[in-house]
Structure formats: structure tokens, C-alpha cells
Structure 1
Amino acid sequence: MKFTERLWQDIAPIYNSILKHGFVNELMAGSLPTFLFQYYIQQDALYLADFSRALNLLAARSIRTDDVLQFTQFAQNAILVERALHETYFSIYAIEPATQKMPACFAYTNYLLATTSLQSIAVGAAAVLPCFWIYRQVGKHIYQQALQENPYRTWIDTYAGEAFDVSVNQMLAITDRLAEQAGAAERQQMQDAFRISSQLEWYFWNDAYTQNQWQV
């Protein structure tokens, strides 16, 4: 069994909770209220800017030229591809760009930046992997069940598409290779990082669904 397969087994309950979440189910049904999706897109735009920075940190710290190139391409895609998607919805729903990260976004982006800065490249790779992998799986799950006229079809098609699939498989291959080179203690740190980011994925969906705000 590949290391990443063991990672997925470990977070199976978290992933199942994401699939059962009201935000995901209503998005799949096309019944998600517009204001909830607006919050999500605003926060996702802020998230992706820092996600790109985290990937660039991994690129800067990588020794292998291939890894430098791959992480740099991932970072560029996070900005270019996702920006086009966001601009579509910012226009459709007249969404104003947000400047403040809400609690889940703040926690998630700061965790990724700290991990990719201060931990090993292997642990940093495991921390960014859920954003690739969980989104691919959720996108495919929704794609298989959503109606064609779903108002969120553009979002669904992006994460269920072949281009994103290629990126996810590349990231999985990098993570497995880094795990093979790591010792037992570092592999445990990778597993912990993957689980924490997976938990933060759930909180990101949940913040959008509950319209969570800073309380004080």
C-alpha cells in the first residue's frame, strides 16, 4: 500500500463528514443559497493567495530541480486557474472581494504557511496535499450526481476536470516519493499534517455554511 493510500484511510471519517455536510449537499443539488456561496468564494480567493505562497515556499526549499518546477507550476495554477473561476463568480453574483480572513480561512492559511516554512519539505507537502486531493474527490462526487443546469456547474467542472486530475496525481507522486525517503518519525509528522489540513478543509466548508464571523 502506498503511503498516500494510508493517509487517505486515516482521514476517511473526515472525508465522509465533508460529503455529508450541508454546504456540499446543497451545492450538489444546486439549492445552496447565493449568499453562502458568496462567502465561500470570498474566503477561497483569500485562501488561494496564501496557498500559492505555501507552494512557492516548497519550491524555494526544494533541492530537486523537478520539484522546484512542479511546486512552482502548482503555485502558478493556484493563482491563474482559480482566479479565472473566481472572477466568473464575482461577476455573476456581484461579489465584492473580501479583505479579512474569517476564522477557518485564517487558521488554515497560517497553518500551511507555518508548516511549509518551518517543517521539512516532506511534511509541508503532506500539509498542502488535502487541498488537491479532497477537492478532486469532492468535485468528482458532486459531478456524478449534480444536474447539468446546476448554477454552480463551473465550479463543479473545474474540480472534476482532467487538468486538475493531472495536478492531483503529480502531487500524490511527490508525496509518496518524499515519504519513501523519510524516516518513521518524519512519516508520522506527515500523517499528522495531512490530518490537520483535512480537518481544516471541513472547517472551511462549515464556516461558509454557518457564515462564521469573528465574535470579538
Structure 2
Amino acid sequence: MPNFSEQLKNEAQPIWRRIFDHPFLKEIKDGSLPVETFGYYLAQDYLYLEGFGRTVAMALAKAPDSQTLQDLAHRVMTPVERPLHHKLLAEAGLTLADAQNAVRSPANTAYVDHMLQTASLHGLGPTAAALLPCPWTYHLLKDEVGQSEHPLYGQWTRFYVEGFLEGSVEAWRGFVDQMAAEAGPTELEAMRQAFMTSSRYEYMFWEAAYNRQQWPV
């Protein structure tokens, strides 16, 4: 029987297929995505990762033992995508201040709120499950999208093709499977819902980036 994280991945496959087939990623691969759209995405992703980091920090207080605490602290202290953002923002014609001062999109706001609310109301299991779809789907871009030959987008795809998120995915899957092994039916269902909701928000994030989503008022 597959472990719990694998079961979650299998259940989320219809959503993840929509992610990997999204025109944003197709146009990244063939180089036709407007640079302005990519710049919008970078700024939104910068803001999202801030929310991701805050959620991980909240998870520290939920660690059941010292080893888990150390492992979670390592996740907080190693934001592997930050240096990539700094470089790509400049090449997309944006500054770090542009990203920091951008208005978080409706989809981005809802996604981050979902993660923070899960961490506020639940234990480490649902919190880890809410965090896992982001690194896992990005890690799989190496197979689903592959390397772009575009001079800017190729730098972005190379980060994932070369497997820089592999350690992050293994760590978060480990947290999920560890917590699932000790969880009862109610906790397992909370973990499942957290994972599926985050998977849906992952799709919505790409959709919002592609359309450069703005608040209506």
C-alpha cells in the first residue's frame, strides 16, 4: 500500500494534470510567454514564499520532538528559491523593491491565508500537508516541462530540472507520512483536505499569473 503522501498525490492527479498542462508553463517552455507576465509571476511568487515561510515558522511550535523541530528549523533557514528570484527579477526588469511592494493577488492572498489558517487551527500533519503541494509540483516540472531554451526562462526551468527542490520535497513528504502514521481518521481527513485545497490553489496561482490577476476595486 502506498504511503499517505503518495495516496494524496494520486488523489490530486486530475488537478496536477491541469497545472502541468497550463498555458503559462507551455509558453515558458517554448519561450512565447510575455516577459511582463513572467515578471508579474516572479513578484507574486516572492510574496507567496514569504507566506510559506511564515507558515513553516508557525509549524515549529507544533513539532512533536526535538529532531522534527530541528528539521523544520532547517526548512525555515534554507529558502532555496530566494537567490533565483533576485537574479530573475533583475533580468525581467524589476527590482527587489518592486516585488516586495507588489499587491498580493486575490488568488495569492487566498492561498497564503489557507496555509496560515491551517497552521493556526491544526497540528503539524495538516500544516505539512498544506505546504507539500507547492514544492512537490514544482519539483515535478523537471519531467513535465523540462528545459526551456529561452535565455531568461531557461534559467528558471534549469533550477527545477537540476533537482534543487528534491531535498525539500523529501522533507515535507517525510513530515506528512510521519504525522499520518500516528493520526486518527479525523486528522487524516484534515490532512487530505489541506493537501487538496493547496493543490487547487496551486492551479489558481498559475491561472492568476497568466492573466496578471488584479483586484477589481
Q: Name the TM tier (shorter chain).
A: over 0.9
Contact 2:107–2:205 (8 Å) recurs in 1: yes
Match of 2:74 in 1: 73
TM-score (norm 1): 0.93
Amino acid corresponding to residue 88 of structure 1 in structure 2: K
Contact 2:62–2:123 (8 Å) recurs in 1: no
Give me the CA root mean square deviation: 1.4
175-184 vs 154-163, which moves further? 154-163
Indicate the SS of the match to 1:100. coil
Indicate the SS of the match to 1:154. helix
Contact 2:41–2:209 (8 Å) recurs in 1: yes
Match of 1:124 among 117, 127, 130: 127
Match of 1:89 in 2: 88
**Aligned counterparts of 1:148 and 1:211: Cα–Cα separation in 2:** 24
Contact 1:51–1:75 (8 Å) recurs in 2: no
Distance 1:197 1:164, change over 3 A: same
Match of 2:140 in 1: 137
Match of 1:177 in 2: 178
1:171 Cα offset (Å): 1.4
1:147 Cα offset (Å): 4.0
Distance 1:37 1:149, change over 3 A: closer
Indicate the SS of the match to 2:132. helix
1:11 Cα offset (Å): 0.6
TM alignment of 1:1-216, pairs within 5 A: 1-78=2-79, 81-95=80-94, 96-97=98-99, 98-143=101-146, 146-216=147-217
1:93 Cα offset (Å): 1.5
Contact 1:38–1:93 (8 Å) recurs in 2: yes
Indicate the SS of the match to 1:162. coil
Contact 1:14–1:198 (8 Å) recurs in 2: yes
**Aligned counterparts of 2:43 and 2:180: Cα–Cα separation in 1:** 34
1:63 Cα offset (Å): 2.4
Indicate the SS of the match to 1:131. helix
**Aligned counterparts of 2:48 and 2:212: Cα–Cα separation in 1:** 16
Indicate the SS of the match to 1:58. helix
Q: Percent identity?
A: 32
**Aligned counterparts of 1:70 and 1:43: Cα–Cα separation in 2:** 27
**Aligned counterparts of 2:81 and 2:165: Cα–Cα separation in 1:** 11
Amino acid corresponding to residue 106 of structure 1 in structure 2: T
1:149 Cα offset (Å): 4.5
5-14 vs 149-158, which moves further? 149-158
1:212 Cα offset (Å): 1.0
Contact 2:58–2:119 (8 Å) recurs in 1: yes
**Aligned counterparts of 2:31 and 2:60: Cα–Cα separation in 1:** 38
1:159 Cα offset (Å): 2.2
Contact 2:106–2:213 (8 Å) recurs in 1: yes
Indicate the SS of the match to 2:152. coil
**Aligned counterparts of 1:73 and 1:31: Cα–Cα separation in 2:** 37
**Aligned counterparts of 2:148 and 2:88: Cα–Cα separation in 1:** 19
Contact 1:29–1:150 (8 Å) recurs in 2: no
Q: What CA deviation, in whole Å up to 9, does each residue of 1:55-114 have, x standing for no partner?
A: 111112212112111112112222xx3221111012112212233201111001111111
